[in-house]
């Protein structure tokens, strides 16, 4: 018999691990804190500026990609630093790739906002 938690106990442990991860990233990563603050602003702006409920939903969901990618970026940085504390070209590339993913998520957010605002305010 497995000693692995099942059912509600498993869900509770998974939620605890999730909350631990969010709290740790919030404490340790400036970029993640900034993205959380900007997320609050994004949410309010989406409600105020989007023309439809669908646009509001898209702006909020697309923004959530940014902290999601930042969490993965931070996880990659943590594991790379643990495994390879000395400079290593492969480790640098892994961290650079993760950073580039975060940058692309920012571009997706900005592009989506640009499309929604142009449609809302400049559509014929």
- The residues annotated as belonging to the active site are 70
Torsion of CA 99, 100, 102, 108, to 10 degrees: 170
CA–CA dist 83, 67 (Å, integer): 24
Cα–Cα nearest to 68, from 21, 113, 28, 11: 21
Q: How far is CA 122 from CA 47, 117, 119, in A?
A: 18, 8, 6
């Amino acid at each position: 018999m497995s000693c692995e938690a099942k059912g509600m106990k498993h869900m509770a442990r998974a939620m605890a691990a999730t909350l631990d991860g969010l709290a740790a990233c919030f404490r340790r990563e400036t970029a993640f804190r900034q993205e959380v603050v900007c997320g609050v602003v994004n949410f309010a702006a989406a409600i105020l500026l989007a023309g439809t409920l669908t646009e509001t939903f898209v702006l909020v969901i697309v923004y959530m990609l940014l902290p999601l990618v930042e969490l993965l970026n931070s996880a990659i940085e943590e594991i790379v630093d643990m495994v390879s504390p000395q400079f290593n070209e492969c480790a640098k590339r892994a961290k650079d790739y993760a950073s580039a993913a975060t940058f692309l998520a920012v571009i997706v957010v900005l592009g989506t906002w640009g499309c929604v605002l142009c449609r809302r305010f400049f559509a014929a």
